[in-house]
Structure 1
């Protein structure tokens, strides 16, 4: 079975309903198509959450990287930097940052580590690159999943319409 680069299976398109329906009942086929569409919707919701998370995380990484680059520029001077430090979303404090060779970075799960400015810049650049790649892949997967959901909905409609037409023809044959 074909799949996209991240292993999401491609939905089969039922081109010839008459031929396809020789292998299974209408009810089983409709149930199978509905189940497949539900699985694609579940994957879509998961990718939407991943995309939202990455879209929130990327600006934070970019802000941290910009600060590390700024501190790297100021490393050689004896002059302290006056700034407003973000304590919370709406709370800032005045801060004086002396020239430094190290920074502390939050890694998550209440873990903070001290890095040299060069190590921090390398780490943040790497994380930013990975996050942007992941976001690009999530967007591609979302487009792929929307196409697969559409294909399964079209398949379901075609089989349902085929069944209605078949029943009508049987009813007409019995009437005649």
Structure 2
């Protein structure tokens, strides 16, 4: 489970990467400001916060997918460079791909260097040992980034769940409040997108009484 941190008292609690922790609404009456308070602004805030969490979740899912594609390639490249280092000063027989079904055999003389693609169509030549160190560091960084991304995704799912629970608690509190005041059937403090659920709850109550 992701850990959270807060730099000072009064500041929003976050996880190690700065994703804010969703506050749990334990006392709805106190949170919204009393029995006569409107809840539309509260519900809107919940919707906006949940949308931000879901946006971050999608972004991190894409990042995780990219890392899962890069890590095996980096591991394979590192393995090849280590193989070249072990074959140093010895001719290397290999196959060159000419097209999808045609290969040509060739003998390559080891030069002690290897070309690495750095991205953006840029390739640099590195001594074998330096290339191994570079790839090892990049692979370690990528694996750590993947672990942090998975941790952040877990943390985000927890916060989305908390916001959904908050939404349900405030909604149910509003339904109960209006029922006690005999306001069932009148417009609630919910947003338009939320009123359908409220009406469904009211209809269900009527069916139960019948």
TM-score (normalised: structure 1): 0.89
CA displacement, residues 31-56 of structure 1 (integer Å, 9 cap, x when unaligned): 00010000000000000010000000
Cα distance change of structure 1 residues 164 and 21 upon mapping to structure 2, 3 Å threshold:
same
Counterpart of 2:52 (choices 10, 21, 39) is: 39
Aligned length: 170
Offset at residue 100 of structure 1 (A): 2.5
CA displacement, residues 61-101 of structure 1 (integer Å, 9 cap, x when unaligned): 0010000000000114x3x222345789x678445332220
The CA distance in 2 between the partners of 1:92 and 1:109, in whole Å, is 29
The CA distance in 1 between the partners of 2:142 and 2:148, in whole Å, is 10
SS at match of 2:181: helix
Identify the structure with the greater strand proportion: 1
Q: Report which structure shows greater RCO (CA 8 Å, sep ≥6).
A: 1
- 2:201 is matched with which residue? none
Confirm whether residue 167 of structure 1 aligns to residue 178 of structure 2: yes
- 2:85 is matched with which residue? 72
- 1:60 is matched with which residue? 73
Q: Structure 2 unaligned runs (5+)?
A: 1-11, 184-210
Q: Structure 1 unaligned runs (5+)?
A: none
TM-score (normalised: structure 2): 0.75
Confirm whether residue 25 of structure 1 aligns to residue 38 of structure 2: yes
Contact 1:84–1:92 (CA<8 Å) still a contact in 2?
no
Cα distance change of structure 1 residues 139 and 91 upon mapping to structure 2, 3 Å threshold:
farther
Contact 1:71–1:100 (CA<8 Å) still a contact in 2?
no
Offset at residue 6 of structure 1 (A): 0.4
Counterpart of 2:151 (choices 140, 143, 147) is: 140
